[in-house]
Homo-oligomer: A and B are copies of this chain.
């Protein structure tokens, strides 16, 4: 679902106003981190009332998760190159390198907060991760429909683990963050053969 559709369904804010608000939340999150971020600060920064924020997003975990979802530079739902391998490489190409680096720091901080805060963990899974996994599964299903990927290939369920996992593991294994060159090599060396893409 697009930001616009969500806005129409859930709020009386204009889509522009909503985008502005999400951007401000993500900006605040980068500045102070999840724990120190307050609904008061969001209200001040976005010139909203706290009542509006709570009415629209229920609470801080939900607002943060929704803001992150709408600030992603690209969604798997927007990519359809005609092959799964092409789609995976295109995801990497759509991420600006400098922005990815900033996002890695943001997501590391959030992951830490989420493992200590069950409400945030649940909100991130429901509002950010699950919807994107749905888009991902649709991308993989298109490869099955095209006959590129066997429907019963046991690696099929692990495509998200492979992609996220490689990026998560690199700082620990090599001491450096993933970059586009790493990601493209990893897709060709590991993901494509594991899926036996034809």
**Chain A residues within CB distance 8 Å of chain B:** 108, 111-112, 115, 121, 125, 129, 133, 154-155, 157-158, 160-162, 164-173, 175, 185-186, 188-191, 193-194, 196
Measured in the bound complex, the distance between the Cα atoms of B32 and A198 in whole Å is 51
Minimum CB–CB distance from A120 to chain B (whole Å) comes to 13
B112 touches A190 (CB 8 A): no
What's the Cα separation between A169 and B108 when bound, in Å? Answer: 13
Chain A: interface secondary structure? Answer: helix
Question: Is A154 a contact partner of B115 (Cβ separation < 8 A)?
Answer: no
Interface pairs A-B: 10 shortest CB-CB = A165-B165, A154-B189, A165-B169, A194-B194, A168-B168, A164-B169, A161-B169, A112-B112, A190-B194, A155-B189
Q: Are A158 and B166 in contact (CB under 8 A)?
A: yes
Given A112-B112, A165-B166, A168-B165, CB of A158 within 8 Å of CB of B189: yes
A-B contact pairs, 7 of them (CB 8 A): A108-B115, A158-B189, A162-B165, A162-B166, A165-B166, A189-B194, A193-B196
Task: Report copies per complex.
Answer: 2
A177 to chain B, nearest CB (A): 10
CB < 8 Å: which of B161, B167, B171, B190 contacts A186? B161
Minimum C-beta distance from A84 to chain B (A): 15
Residues on B with C-beta less than 8 A from A165 are 161-162, 164-169
Q: Closest CB of chain B to A151's CB: distance in Å?
A: 14
Residue on B nearest A113 in the bound complex, by CB? B112
Residue of B nearest to A129 (CB): B172
Let me know if A173 and B160 touch, CB within 8 A: yes
With CB as the reference atom, state the residue of chain B lying closest to A189: B154
- Whether the Cβ atoms of A133 and B173 lie closer than 8 Å is yes
